[in-house]
Amino acid sequence: MAATQAPADGEGRRPIPPVVRRSGAPHPVANPDDPPVQPPPRGRNGPLPGPYFAGLPGRGAIVEGQVFIVAFIVVAQLWLCTEALFELLSGRTRDLWWLMGASALGFVIAFIVWRWPQRRIKEP
């Protein structure tokens, strides 16, 4: 029995083709929501130049991980801003530099999480 996937726009269900191993046994697909891996676009004389990230297997998992990590950092920064406002309004300003440093560190980490996978994908 073939696995089926819920339709995105209300049409009929379409079967998900299982990945077949060399031994012939079907292998379950890890992320059935990922688009099928496709070869890069081809021109008249062969593949067109440039990176083709849409056909990369596991791209959805990478993006989901990025979103999760950055969302966690944003929530932590909101908490840091709340603590900084509390300290400022309470008149205790000596801890503000530590809170600002922690928030800046969170920004740097979020920036690295956003840019690092693209750099790693582009490298051979």
The 10s digit of each residue's pLDDT in 15-42 is 555 555 566 655 666 666 666 666 667 7
Provide the 3-class DSSP secondary structure of residue 22: coil
Listed by start position, the domains of the chain span 58-124
In this predicted model, what pLDDT tens digit does every residue of 85-115 receive, in sequence order?
999 999 888 889 999 999 999 999 999 988 8
Per-residue model confidence (pLDDT) at position 87: 92
Residue 62: partners with Cβ closer than 8 Å, 6 or more residues away: 117
* Mean per-residue pLDDT over the chain, rounded: 75
Q: How far is it, in rounded angstroms, from Cα 96 to Cα 123?
A: 40
Q: How far is it, in rounded angstroms, from Cα 93 to Cα 119?
A: 40
